[in-house]
Structure 1
Amino acid sequence: MQKGDESMRPYRLAVCEDDKIVRDGICTFCGQTLTEEKISHEVAGFPSAEALEQAIKQGGQKFDLLILDILLEKKTGMELALDIRKWDKKVSILFITGYEEYIGKGYDVHAVHFLLKPLNWTKLKQILLEDWKKRHRPDTLVLQKGRSSLRIPLQEILYAEADKNHAVRFILTEGEEKFPISLSELEQMEPGGQLIRCHNSYLVNMDHVRRLEKQDFFLDNGKKVPVSRKYLKQCQEKILSYFTQ
């Protein structure tokens, strides 16, 4: 099992694949992808449908995304998914298979996607981040430092700016908030990399970015946030990745 930052509820994945090399490869790739995106996570691998089902039913493990091979040795991934849907309507299911004829059957369990073997790793990354963003991403930023605490819906944050008094100003869709924390500390506490560093003094909320022009982010309300040369390349990469998810 691999873990990320424990400051928030982790995004939990189960990979059920009877080929150990393939299973370990998927687990490693998903863990690395989520770590790069600063998404707190746990990834667990299972060699059979029975092992995963036992972990859920008897072990009490809960998952946000199940990556299931369809053709397992005994109980198939499709049969497992049908059983799971009897008690869990929310968990996301991604099937992997080497046979296209199984794709149509995924509608019965509302699978988020099918991936054909050999796996397209770029597509897997896209599906993984889309699922986290649409279904499981926290919608509230919770800050705690000493006796101070603050809760802000992430969607209300346009950007965060370093304040001269060792604090951060949150510029919101309506008004602003201030909290005694550094931008570096905020980067570590923010769930999922939605606020990205674009300047020594600024973090911007990617959900409100509409375009990057020269050295400015233009937001959906018409405001601009500066992008320094130091962070320009990573901002260009981030906006491309974010917009294609």
Structure 2
Amino acid sequence: MDRLKIVVCDDEIVQQKLMKALLEKYLLENEMQAELKFYPSGQSCLQDSREILDADIFLLDIFMPELNGIDIARELKDLGTNGKIIFITGGNDYITEAFEIHAFSYIQKPVEYEKFAKVMNAVVHCLEKARYIDIIADREKRRVYLADILYVETLGRRLVIYTKDEELETYLSVKNFMDEYGGNEFLQISRYAAVSKSRIQRIVGRSLYLMNGKELLVSEKYLPTTKKLHIEYIHTKKVANV
């Protein structure tokens, strides 16, 4: 893929050197290029936020004084980054918070190359699949990134695309959307609706709840598959523990 931009934030010099060595080894073995930026604290990282919001990958140490990795990730998310966040941690204290902010994964210390490479392979594969959909909405051409979509549903002859900030209508069926763009990122929960896997909070009975609290109904026909794929998706997010 194109040149990556990777940000590392860790307050320990030894750990920074280790991450640099691991990244250089991975990039060399996979014949990839990347711009690497290192920060010794959360404050210095956020002070440079305008320069790093477009980064593809953030490797953040969780345990740092004043601003920890979770604080940094939340701030970066609020500022609008679409980069994948990977936490480096010596414990399990903040795992729940990591998933609440949609962290891509986490790596337990001591960081070994095999484990590191596995997570990097997963995140690079995810980045390669990052795509967008060009639609005509309100007679204007619009580009919607799949990562921004919460769910889609058909109303009459139109497909309504729901993002965090807006609702867009276009002429497309859920089946065509799934065939063309669904890939491994969306779950079809009925004949008329599909949901982003990363936006699902929980499934209770036939009720599917999104992270923003929105409740959707899963049809009886799609319920077994929806539950199965949701569980599988959760497990894939724990790849760094394997």
* TM-score, normalization by structure 2: 0.50
TM-score scaled by structure 1? 0.49
Work out which of the two has the higher radius of gyration on C-alpha atoms and give 1 or 2: 1
